[in-house]
Amino acid sequence: MRKIELFSANIEQMVLRFYMMIAGVVVLAVFHQFVLAALFGNIIAVSFILGVDWRHQEEEKSIGQIKERPLSRGGRQAA
């Protein structure tokens, strides 16, 4: 599941999105795909302006009552 948050992107992500937007618009404009360039540019610009951040949120899984036990200090490990 992805967790989407507004106004939480860091400056590195924002600069990367800006350059990605410019590069995508220039490449599409070279191929005379102005409508696609406008759509792509607007989508990236909105995510840049809103500072959208999405991260993969891992769900905790438990199997019954099985828990991982730490090794004792004097215990041996199998090779």
Q: Report the C-alpha gap between 35 and 65 in whole angstroms.
A: 56
User: What single-letter DSSP state applies at residue 60?
Assistant: P
In-domain check, residue 72: no
The structural domain count of the chain equals: 1
In a domain, 76, yes or no: no
Residue 65 has phi, psi (to 5 degrees) of: -115, 20
pTM: 0.60
For CA atoms 30, 31, 35, 37, give the dihedral sign. Answer: negative
What are the 10-residue block averages of pLDDT along the chain, 79 residues in total?
77 89 95 94 89 69 58 58
Residue 75 confidence (pLDDT): 55
Given a contact cutoff of 8 angstroms between Cβ atoms, the answer to whether 47 and 41 are in contact is: no
* Predicted local distance difference test score (pLDDT) of residue 67: 57
Residue 42's domain comprises 2-56
Q: What pLDDT was estimated at residue 74? A: 57
